[in-house]
């Protein structure tokens, strides 16, 4: 295969044309009213609200998407009348997107879960009867007690979904005795986080573009600073302009570009909205981002010359801050001598990379050179790319290495691991200490003792390296149960009998849809469901709710309290305050927690005490105060020094003002500085937001004696407190493997008998261009399938009809058949009312099949035609195609969770299920990423058949 034939490149003219088309499409659907949001300061806003009479201004946090922006809501006569962004929070700096502004259509939706429901028909039929809270809690309590008695508490999974206020549910189920309390991370971007976790002890690397930041000035004052320093940002499979859960990245990227001339490069098979604003789009072949990173690293190593300013790529001072580079480099280089069986070329060479990525050789060399030479720069990789591939691990390790060796970690304008620098919160509210409780289990007739934690299905089962409870193979667990391979309770086996699912919708987005449905509806020989209890706690009635035995209506985000802080570049927290009282019969998580705890206590479960629940947390505020207590909880580090009068390296606790004024006590032994604790009251007096000063270079400190920077050891959370190129985080798992001789299933799959302690490499699945095993499928299944988030049409928010006026990137387009549906809409008096609305043909956005124009021509397809997608496993999905220039040939893109929606609870969108494709329908149910067990959402090949 020649690299030229293999390459797809757009001319500058076509690039601009495609960019313009995508940008236009983005704006096209927003009604003038939606865009006409004027930014005013919090003070101006409060004044304006008061002048309107009986209007109360409340500060809270959004949950219309996982960005959870800080919001300002106006309330009149107990109803929300306006939604704005909160100007006091640097995360979104007053910004509120169309989706956030549409929140009222969700909060006041007639399709919300209004009261508890108990199933009457079979799972999936959607037949429920109205129940009282007492009845529903009694049903759940009795079932939980029965499961605990018959199978052990660990047989219940609590999946608390994709919002940050999940601690109440964790506390409840940790007390119950199951360590299997998980969240949406199990299906999110786990391979993406792996490199930062191993090498920094962190999670997500983002560009330093959150502005404003509060910065200490030389005169001692604090300044709200909007200065951008970034010179180059490379987004790989990351589309912050559309898919983000990080609000500031879209604003900040444009800010850095306009104000600091920052170059933006987007590497993505699809011409996303982010690509439309970039200087360069590299339409890479799906599943080859790691190949690009490997080639960049090899190029940088081979061409680095400290004496040539044009080739001074590596900032060798990184060695002062790290361990293991020599071993990493040696292992990386050892691959150069090997020949790739798929193309016969030397691993990681430019020649090899061009063949695999489909990018021209000069482009790969150029991006490697530019990343090496431009400082500060940030290389950022995303959820839909390394995050969703079987082999995303080597990609995220290489990406992290590239950021470290070029000196870009935590410098102004560089790359920041947000997990390491955001505020601490939560404390023991989620009840982690309860996992230390001793338990006894019978193993082979012998009683053995361990801790609740040792019952964890992931850490002691098939995926020991699955930190953050990340295994996404629940359907298999439901069918096969759990066998503990490691730890004191090794040999203990248990079934999964209870599934508590809150706010998530795994039937549509947790892996293969059919696999999920089969697992939740499987029956034993007596005709009873194998999973004996499925409870759905949600504000909305989504597909997973249709398979529940009990549905509990949770208060919407405007009706409950908690905290937010989604990946900021330093310590900032904002309050989710209760804006209105819960509507209908909905209850907030703290009340649901207390009700279930009390019921379990009444039913004789001695693990539940009043002092841990209903006496301790008499209100939501009590719970949130406990969550706030540790904030900001990070070590005092970096430049400019946040608090020059406080000792560096000490842990800070307390309100920004008390730390600033020195109203603190200092414990030199424990190295803790304690000011006045942050409380809900304090937050309310400060527009719901606490912001501590920003600093950079937090991983190092200047050693006057040595005359150079040395590691601060104040931020990195690795065992060595240094950047690690030899992965000590794997040591504990290797110890378990050595003790038992049991090799985890994922490792076996990729041919390792223990976790490698430095650089490693393996190929992805279902990719005929990089993995020889799949080469035979190339001709029959010529398309690679990828998916992308549609920001305003995620699994819950597709029920908001206003958002179906906004097309996205060819995967969410106005291609509906005509239909009628009851919705709530604004009337002439600017009030929401229920109306029967007719949606004419091609006026309402639906999930589509985005296909390259040349590919479509060859297949005789045009926009709006129906097509069938079929994978080699025989699964099919039907949908309407959208023909676009903005797609790499041979690639098909679908929205994630946008198509095939069949729950009546998602409103008008459910009317389109028969001609919209469900991406999860094509995912291989048996493909789980080998280290952490996540579904391989972006590894599949298909053929396209005209319907
Ligand atoms: S980005 Fe997300 S959290 Fe922020 S306003 Fe929009 S929908 Fe709300």
The pLDDT tens digits of the residues spanning 47-74 come to 777 777 789 999 999 999 888 999 999 9
Beta-strand ranges (E) seen in 856-940 are: 866-870, 876-884, 891-895
Q: Tokens at residue 54, please?
A: 């009986």
Do 431 and 418 sit in the same domain of this protein? no
Decide: 96 in ligand 1 pocket, CB within 6 A. Answer: yes
Instruction: Residue 490: give its domain's CATH number.
Output: 3.40.50.740
pLDDT at 59: 97
Domain carrying residue 910:
773-946
Residue 214 in this model has a pLDDT that exceeds 70: yes
pLDDT at 4: 35
Decide: 68 in ligand 1 pocket, CB within 6 A. Answer: yes
Residue 210 lies in a domain: yes
Residue 505 lies in a domain: yes
Do 795 and 910 sit in the same domain of this protein? yes
Number of domains in the chain: 4
- pLDDT one-digit tens code per residue, 383-430: 777 788 999 999 999 999 999 999 999 999 999 999 999 999 988 898
- pLDDT one-digit tens code per residue, 338-394: 999 999 999 999 999 999 999 999 999 999 999 999 999 999 998 777 788 999 999
Residue 10 in this model has a pLDDT that exceeds 50: no
- pLDDT one-digit tens code per residue, 673-729: 999 999 999 999 999 999 999 999 999 999 999 999 999 999 999 999 999 999 999
Do 445 and 367 sit in the same domain of this protein? no
Do 357 and 448 sit in the same domain of this protein? no
Q: Tokens at residue 722, please?
A: 């240094």
Q: Tokens at residue 637, please?
A: 């580090």
Contact assessment for residue 653 and residue 673, using Cβ atoms and an 8 Å cutoff: yes
Contact assessment for residue 401 and residue 725, using Cβ atoms and an 8 Å cutoff: yes
pTM here is 0.95
Give me ligand 1 centre to Cα 596, in Å. Answer: 32
- pLDDT one-digit tens code per residue, 137-177: 999 999 999 999 999 999 999 999 877 678 999 999 999 99
Residue 755 in this model has a pLDDT that exceeds 50: yes
- The CB-side HSE value for 246 (13 A sphere, CA atoms) comes to 24
pLDDT at 5: 37
Taking the alpha carbons of 96, 102, 104, 108 in that order, is the dihedral positive or negative? negative
More reliable by pLDDT, 465 or 1: 465
Task: Write down the H helix ranges in 90-238.
Answer: 98-101, 103-107, 133-151, 167-176, 190-200
- pLDDT tier at 25, thresholds 50, 70, 90: very low
Phi-psi region of 163 (alpha: psi -120 to 50; beta: other; left: phi over 0): beta
Do 370 and 466 sit in the same domain of this protein? no
Rounded Cα distance between 199 and 721, Å, is 10
Do 901 and 923 sit in the same domain of this protein? yes
Residue 56 lies in a domain: no
- Pocket-testing residue among 30, 66, 85, 96, ligand 1, by greatest number of atoms within 8 A of Cβ: 96
Decide: 67 in ligand 1 pocket, CB within 6 A. Answer: yes
Q: How many Å separate Cα 413 from the centre of its chain? A: 23
Range of weakest confidence among 27-36, 416-425, 819-828: 27-36
When pLDDT is averaged across residues 296-302 and rounded to a whole number, the result is 98
Residue 762 lies in a domain: no
- The CB-side HSE value for 32 (13 A sphere, CA atoms) comes to 0
Instruction: Residue 910: give its domain's CATH number.
Output: 2.40.40.20
Residue 393 lies in a domain: yes
Query: What contacts 13, CB < 8 A, 6 or more positions away?
Result: none
Taking alpha carbons only, the member of 509, 502, 498, 505 closest to residue 536 is 502
Terminal CA-to-CA distance of the chain, rounded, Å? 32
Rounded Cα distance between 137 and 500, Å, is 13
Residue 853 lies in a domain: yes
Do 798 and 872 sit in the same domain of this protein? yes
- pLDDT tier at 23, thresholds 50, 70, 90: very low
**Ligand 1, atom 2: closest residue by C-alpha:** 65
Residue 18 in this model has a pLDDT that exceeds 90: no
Mean pLDDT of all residues in the chain? 92
When pLDDT is averaged across residues 92-119 and rounded to a whole number, the result is 94
Do 416 and 432 sit in the same domain of this protein? no
The number of the ligand 1 atom at minimal distance from the alpha carbon of 97 is 6
Do 836 and 914 sit in the same domain of this protein? yes
When pLDDT is averaged across residues 618-624 and rounded to a whole number, the result is 97
Residue 20 in this model has a pLDDT that exceeds 60: no
pLDDT at 21: 41
One-character DSSP codes across 296-360? HHHHHHHH--TT-TTS----GGGGGGEE-HHHHHHHHHHGGGSB-TTT--BTT-HHHHHHHH---
Per DSSP bridges, beta strands 128-130 and 117-119 are antiparallel
Residue 841 lies in a domain: yes
- pLDDT tier at 16, thresholds 50, 70, 90: very low
Rounded Cα distance between 689 and 88, Å, is 7
- pLDDT tier at 185, thresholds 50, 70, 90: low
Give me ligand 1 centre to Cα 672, in Å. Answer: 35
Contact assessment for residue 850 and residue 887, using Cβ atoms and an 8 Å cutoff: yes
Query: What contacts 840, CB < 8 A, 6 or more positions away?
Result: 818
Residue 598 in this model has a pLDDT that exceeds 50: yes
Residue 42 in this model has a pLDDT that exceeds 70: no
Give me ligand 1 centre to Cα 752, in Å. Answer: 42
Q: Is 776 exposed, middle or buried (0-12, 13-18, 19+ CB in 10 A)?
A: exposed
Tell me the sheet residues that pair with 673: 652, 666
Residue 858 lies in a domain: yes
- pLDDT tier at 335, thresholds 50, 70, 90: very high
Maximal C-alpha separation, the chain: 77
Do 484 and 512 sit in the same domain of this protein? yes
Contact assessment for residue 84 and residue 48, using Cβ atoms and an 8 Å cutoff: no
Give me ligand 1 centre to Cα 579, in Å. Answer: 17
Rounded Cα distance between 862 and 511, Å, is 30
Task: Residue 27: count other Cβ atoms within 10 Å of its Cβ.
Answer: 10
Decide: 803 in ligand 1 pocket, CB within 6 A. Answer: no
Residue 193 in this model has a pLDDT that exceeds 60: yes
**Ligand 1, atom 8: closest residue by C-alpha:** 100
- Pocket-testing residue among 247, 558, 806, ligand 1, by greatest number of atoms within 8 A of Cβ: 247
Decide: 375 in ligand 1 pocket, CB within 6 A. Answer: no
Whole-number percent of the chain with pLDDT over 70: 94
- pLDDT tier at 38, thresholds 50, 70, 90: low
Instruction: Residue 276: give its domain's CATH number.
Output: 3.40.228.10
Q: Tokens at residue 290, please?
A: 């790691």
Taking alpha carbons only, the member of 142, 165, 158, 145 closest to residue 62 is 165
Rounded Cα distance between 531 and 364, Å, is 50
Residue 14 in this model has a pLDDT that exceeds 60: no
Rounded Cα distance between 630 and 645, Å, is 21
pLDDT at 19: 43
Whole-number percent of the chain with pLDDT over 90: 84
Residue 881 in this model has a pLDDT that exceeds 90: yes
Do 415 and 446 sit in the same domain of this protein? no
**Cα→Cα distances 547→274, 503, 906, Å:** 37, 14, 15
Give me ligand 1 centre to Cα 51, in Å. Answer: 27
Do 179 and 321 sit in the same domain of this protein? no
């Amino acid at each position: 295969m020649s690299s030229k034939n293999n390459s797809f490149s757009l001319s500058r003219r076509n690039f601009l044309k495609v960019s313009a088309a995508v940008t236009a499409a983005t704006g096209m659907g927003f009604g003038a009213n939606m865009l006409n949001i004027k930014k005013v300061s919090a003070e101006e806003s409060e004044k304006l609200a008061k002048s309107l009479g009986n209007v109360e201004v409340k500060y809270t946090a959004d949950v219309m998407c996982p960005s959870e922006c800080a919001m300002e809501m106006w309330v009149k006569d107990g109803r929300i009348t306006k939604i704005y962004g909160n100007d006091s929070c640097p995360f979104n700096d007053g910004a509120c997107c169309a989706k956030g502004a549409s929140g009222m259509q969700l909060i006041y939706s007639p399709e919300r879960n209004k009261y508890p429901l108990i199933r009457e028909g079979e799972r999936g039929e959607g037949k429920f009867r109205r129940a009282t809270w007492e009845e529903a809690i009694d049903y759940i309590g009795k079932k939980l007690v029965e499961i605990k008695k018959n199978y052990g508490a660990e047989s219940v999974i609590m999946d608390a979904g994709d919002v940050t206020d999940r601690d109440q549910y964790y506390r409840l189920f940790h007390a119950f005795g199951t360590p299997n309390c998980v969240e949406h991370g199990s299906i999110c971007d786990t391979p993406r986080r792996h490199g930062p976790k191993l090498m920094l002890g962190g999670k997500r690397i983002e560009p330093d573009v959150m502005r404003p930041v509060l910065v200490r000035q030389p005169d001692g004052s604090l300044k709200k600073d909007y200065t951008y320093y970034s010179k180059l940002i490379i987004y790989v499979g990351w589309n912050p302009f559309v898919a983000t859960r990080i609000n500031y990245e879209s604003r900040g990227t444009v800010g850095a570009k306009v104000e600091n001339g920052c170059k933006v490069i987007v590497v993505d098979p699809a011409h996303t909205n982010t690509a439309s604003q970039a200087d360069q789009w590299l339409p890479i072949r799906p599943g080859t981002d790691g190949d690009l990173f490997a080639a960049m690293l090899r190029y940088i190593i081979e061409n680095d010359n400290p004496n040539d300013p044009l080739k001074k790529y590596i900032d060798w001072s990184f060695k002062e801050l790290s361990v293991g580079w020599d071993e990493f480099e040696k292992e990386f280089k050892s691959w150069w001598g090997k020949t790739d069986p798929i193309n016969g070329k030397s691993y990681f060479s430019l020649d090899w990379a061009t063949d695999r990525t489909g990018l021209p050789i000069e482009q790969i060399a150029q991006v490697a050179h530019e990343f090496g030479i431009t400082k500060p720069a940030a290389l950022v990789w995303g959820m839909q790319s390394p995050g969703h591939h079987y082999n995303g691990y080597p990609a995220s390790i290489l990406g992290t290495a590239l950021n470290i060796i070029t000196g870009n970690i935590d410098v102004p304008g560089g790359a920041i691991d947000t997990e390491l620098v955001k505020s601490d919160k939560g404390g023991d509210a989620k009840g982690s200490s309860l996992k230390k409780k001793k338990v006894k289990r019978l193993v082979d007739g012998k009683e053995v003792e361990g801790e609740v934690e040792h019952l964890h299905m992931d850490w002691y089962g098939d995926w020991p390296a699955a930190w953050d409870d990340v295994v996404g193979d629940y359907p298999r667990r439901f069918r096969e149960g759990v066998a503990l391979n490691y730890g004191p309770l090794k040999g203990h086996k248990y079934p999964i009998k209870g599934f508590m699912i809150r706010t998530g919708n795994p039937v549509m987005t947790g892996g293969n849809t059919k696999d999920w449905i089969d697992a939740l509806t499987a029956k034993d020989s007596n005709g009873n469901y194998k999973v004996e209890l499925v409870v759905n706690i949600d504000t909305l009635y989504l597909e997973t709710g249709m398979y529940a035995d009990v549905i509990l209506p949770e208060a919407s985000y405007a009706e409950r309290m908690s905290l937010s802080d989604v990946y900021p570049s330093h310590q900032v927290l904002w309050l989710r305050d209760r804006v209105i009282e819960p509507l209908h019969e909905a209850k907030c998580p703290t009340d649901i927690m207390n009700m279930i705890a009390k019921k379990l206590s009444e039913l004789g479960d001695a693990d539940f005490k009043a002092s841990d629940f209903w006496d301790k947390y008499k209100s939501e505020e009590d719970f949130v105060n406990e969550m706030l207590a540790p904030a900001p909880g990070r070590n005092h580090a970096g430049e400019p020094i946040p608090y020059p009068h406080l000792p560096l390296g000490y842990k800070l606790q307390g309100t920004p003002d008390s730390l600033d004024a020195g109203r603190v006590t200092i414990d030199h032994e424990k190295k803790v500085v304690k000011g006045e604790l942050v409380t809900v009251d304090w937050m309310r007096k400060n527009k719901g937001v606490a912001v501590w000063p920003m600093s950079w270079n937090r991983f190092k400190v200047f050693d006057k004696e040595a005359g150079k920077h040395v590691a601060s050891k104040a931020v990195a959370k690795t065992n060595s407190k240094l950047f690690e190129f030899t992965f000590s985080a794997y040591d504990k798992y290797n110890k378990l493997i050595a003790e038992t001789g049991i090799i985890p299933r994922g490792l076996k799959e990729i041919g390792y008998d223990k976790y490698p302690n430095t650089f490693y490499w393996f190929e992805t699945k279902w990719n005929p261009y990089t993995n020889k095993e799949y080469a035979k499928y190339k001709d029959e299944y010529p398309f690679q399938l990828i998916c992308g988030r549609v920001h305003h049409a995620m699994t819950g928010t597709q029920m908001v009809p206003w958002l179906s006026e906004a097309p996205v990137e060819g995967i969410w387009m106005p291609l509906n058949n005509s239909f009628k549906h009851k919705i709530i809409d604004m009337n002439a008096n600017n009030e929401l009312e229920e109306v029967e609305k007719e949606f004419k043909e091609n006026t309402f956005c639906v999930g589509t099949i985005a296909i390259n124009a040349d590919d479509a021509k060859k297949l005789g397809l045009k926009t709006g035609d129906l097509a069938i997608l079929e994978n080699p496993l025989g699964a099919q999905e039907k949908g309407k195609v959208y023909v676009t220039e903005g797609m790499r040939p041979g690639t098909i893109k679908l929205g994630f969770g946008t198509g095939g929606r069949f729950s009546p609870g998602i409103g008008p969108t459910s009317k389109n299920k028969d001609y919209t494709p469900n991406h999860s329908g094509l995912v291989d149910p048996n493909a789980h990423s080998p280290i952490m067990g996540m579904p391989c959402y972006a590894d599949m090949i298909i053929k396209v058949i005209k319907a």
